[in-house]
Structure formats: C-alpha cells, structure tokens
Amino acid sequence: MNMRATPYFQTQVIGCGPGALGLAVAADRLKLLDSLLGQGIAFLEKAPNPKELFNQRFPFLIESNSIADDFFKSIDSEGAFSETCRNENSRLVFSREGRTLPLELIKAFMNDLTKAFLEKCCFSGASGIFFGREIDHLQIGEDGSVTSFNRSGAPIAKSMYAVLATGAGENLPLHAHGPGNLFHFLPSGEVLSGKFAEISREIASGKPIIILGGSHSAFSVALLILDRFGSRLSTGQIQLYHRGVCLYFTSQREASESGYFLPGAHIFRSTGEVNKFNGLRGRAKNLYQQVQSGIEMRVSVKGKNAYADFLAKAEFPALIIQATGYKTRRIGIINHMGVPIRNLHSNKNCMVDSQCRLLDSSGEILPNLFGIGIGYPRLSENKELKIGVNFFHGPDGETIVRQIVSPSKTTVSAETALASNSNLNGVPS
C-alpha cells in the first residue's frame, strides 16, 4: 500500500502540449510567471520523457492553417523566453511573418520553448513538468479541491485548481456507413504523417481517392497526394466531399473582390477578418480556388448530397480518407461522492464559458476547473468556435492565469515544494 501523501500544488495542468505551454507564455507576458511557478504548478504529461513529448508533437508533413504571427507575437521577447526568441528556429518563424509555415518548424519552435520552460521550472523548486503521468480522471472534493488519479486509481496530485489541456484527436466513425464491407476508412492523420501505401494501391488500380471533409486537414491531404503522385493521377481521381468550405480573408473587401459569397461568413468584428478561426489559408485555400476555377483538374470538390449519392451507388470497394475534424481527448470528472459529471459539449468538443471555465451538461460552471487548447474552444464574439492556436496567441491563457494567480495567495515554500515533487515522482503512473 502506498502511504505517501498526495502531493499538493496550487494548480495542476493535465497535459503539456501547445495549450499548456500557452499558459506559461501568457503568464510571462503578464509578468506573472514567477508568481505562477512560486505558488506551485504541476504539468502532468503522459509522455514518458521529454524526448518522446518532443518527437510526437506535430508529426504532419504539411503547413499550418495559422500564420507565423500567431506564434511569435504572443511571446514577450524580453521575458523568460528571450533567449529562445533569438535562436535559429525562432528566426525562421519570424521570417515568415504574415504567412503560414510548416508544422515541422512550429514543432521545433515549441520544443525550444518547452525546454526553456523546463529549465525555468527547475529553478523555481515549487513547480515542474512530470512525465509518465497519464491521468484517467479528476475528483472534485467537498472543499472544491481537485485530485487527479491514474488508471489504477492511485492519486497523482491534489490542487486548488486544475486546467485541462488534453488536446483533441481525430473524429473518426465508429463504423462505415456504406453497404456491406465496401468501405475502408483511413484516418487523415496517417496520410498527413506520410503513410501512402494504401493510397498508392488505389491510384495504381485507377480507383478514386475519396476524401471526406472540407477542413484544412482535408485539403492538406489532397495537396500531399498531389505532391506525391502528381502525374499518376487522372482527371477527377481525387474526390473531396464536404458539408461546407470556408475561406479566410483579411477583410470583407478582399473577400468580395475574390468573389467569395459573404452571407453566412463569420466576420471577426474587432479586426474585420473573415472566417478567422475556420477559414482555409495558404496552400489549402489556393487549392480550393484552383479547383473551383478549373485550373486543377485532378481534384473535384463536391457537396454532402453528392457524397450520399456516392455511398448509395458504390459498386466497388472504396478507400475513404476521413478528415472531418477533431474531438476532445476527455478525461473523467467525478464529484466527492464518486458520481460522474458530464461536460457540456458542442460538435464533439467540451465547452467552456467566457472565462475558460468548464461547464457541466446543464451549462453550470464546474468550480476551479478550466480548459484550454484545441479540445476546449471558447465561442468567439459572433458565436464561432475558436478552434486553432487562439489559446497560444489569444486571451485564453491570460484569462486563466489571472484567475489562478494572485499576489495575495501564499507562495509554496522551497521545503514543501521539494518534498511534494519527491512524492510525485514516487507515485506509480
């Protein structure tokens, strides 16, 4: 029996991906990073070590749907990450101002930031990133405290606040919805990470390549296939089916001059941008426009009714690449009596309020629980889900930091912190 006391922190963060890193960046921007670390914050990461975390981040061979500015403009270049901002990876990011950039470069940039933050945590003594900590569920105590548990039911950490930064995974079907066994679904992530064997066989046999979805991921899949197989593709062999395609524009004027149909578009009131969070940018946007104008003949873009017709009439096995978005990587939440608490969700994503606080299924605030990142989008000013890197460059990180850091709160002593960290390292994961 493990008799060690459950280590206590002011805040525990579940995950150490971009969303979690956004908290550190925001705290530094607000000049509150030292207070955040001094009061005690534990980042609980399921990857077994830093190397695995760095390797698994952004494994895709494509460009982002965000411009470089969304990353570097969020960082205080004179703060805790000042040295990182002057290295080669940062200079490459800065050089692409106003443009999208390869995810490989974003990966290197964020890994550099994480390394700098790890070092900062080591100096604080009260905080840290703890690897090999896969959290199964959280329990809210009678006093409002939050305790995290692993799959074996062992407590990992206890805190006043918890921030869920678990990210999101692909929204895949539970089963194929076609007749018999005609359809095989392939996750878009496999293609985006460079696995082309099944696609190569389909192309060689002359069968169509079916892509389901109108997202950045869907058009990026089409671009990778075009880049990889180019001349082997026949006219219309790539068929992309969607429920709607949104394009990003810097202004309504730019959208109108491009012939974009504005009714139904999301206009970001503070900047005038069109479809700021869900619009295609960069090469994905260019591909859609080239297909629509007849320049790119190897790809056809069709609406959802055409997809239903295809499913009904298909007479041969088909490979369907699923690129229909993402859903929250959820962990369980129970109350002090062990009763599960259901989250409010929209389109497979857990919902948070304007202060990034988690909501239960009835829309009530779950005390001391916050969500950040792609799995926990806030609604924008015009009710658009802010799915993207808004947690990194936008107000989400600052909103949470202001609620969990206060100069009036007691700072964890070095002795308590060291003992707490020692206990945490000793808890089985």
How far is Cα of residue 176 from the mean position of the Cα atoms in its chain? 26
The residue among 5 and 51 whose pLDDT is bigger is 51
CA 300 → CA 26, 112, 170, distances in Å?
43, 40, 24
Q: What does pTM read for this prediction? A: 0.86
Q: List Cβ neighbours of 378 (8 Å cut-off, separation of 6 or more).
A: 352, 353, 354, 356, 385, 386, 390, 396
For the segment 288-309, the average pLDDT, to the nearest whole number, is 89
Q: What is the pLDDT of residues 342-373, one digit of tens each?
A: 876 655 567 788 889 998 888 889 989 999 98
Q: What token pair was written down for 400? A: 């949470």
Report the run of H or E that residue 397 belongs to, with start and end.
Answer: helix 396-404
Q: List Cβ neighbours of 231 (8 Å cut-off, separation of 6 or more).
A: none
Which of 286, 290, 12, 16 is closest to 160 using CA atoms?
Answer: 12
CA 405 → CA 12, 39, 44, 191, 384, distances in Å?
13, 8, 19, 42, 29
Query: Looking at residue 181, what is its pLDDT?
Result: 56
Query: Looking at residue 176, what is its pLDDT?
Result: 45
Mean pLDDT of the chain, nearest integer: 84
Query: Looking at residue 424, what is its pLDDT?
Result: 57
Q: What CATH number matches the domain at 172-245+280-324, 3.30.70, 2.120.10, 1.20.120, 3.50.50?
A: 3.50.50
For the segment 311-333, the average pLDDT, to the nearest whole number, is 79
CA 401 → CA 4, 205, 421, distances in Å?
30, 55, 22
Query: Looking at residue 392, what is its pLDDT?
Result: 63
Q: What is the dihedral of CA 292, 182, 329, 22, to 10 degrees?
A: -30
Q: List the chain domain ranges.
A: 8-169+327-426, 172-245+280-324
Q: What does the alpha-carbon distance between residue 377 and residue 277 come to, in Å, rounded to a whole number?
A: 11
Q: What does the alpha-carbon distance between residue 62 and residue 379 come to, in Å, rounded to a whole number?
A: 27
Highest-confidence range of 117-126, 233-242, 307-316, 329-338, by mean pLDDT?
233-242
Architecture of domain 8-169+327-426: 3-Layer(bba) Sandwich (3.50)
The residue among 288 and 382 whose pLDDT is bigger is 288
Which of 197, 301, 189 is closest to 242 using CA atoms?
Answer: 301
Q: Are 128 and 42 in contact (CB under 8 A)?
A: yes
Q: What is the pLDDT of residues 389-429, one digit of tens each?
A: 555 667 889 999 999 996 454 444 333 333 444 445 533 33
Same fold, 8-169+327-426 and 172-245+280-324: yes
Q: What is the pLDDT of residues 57-86, one digit of tens each?
A: 989 999 999 888 888 888 998 999 999 999
Q: What does the alpha-carbon distance between residue 44 and residue 164 come to, in Å, rounded to a whole number?
A: 10
Q: Are 2 and 153 in contact (CB under 8 A)?
A: no
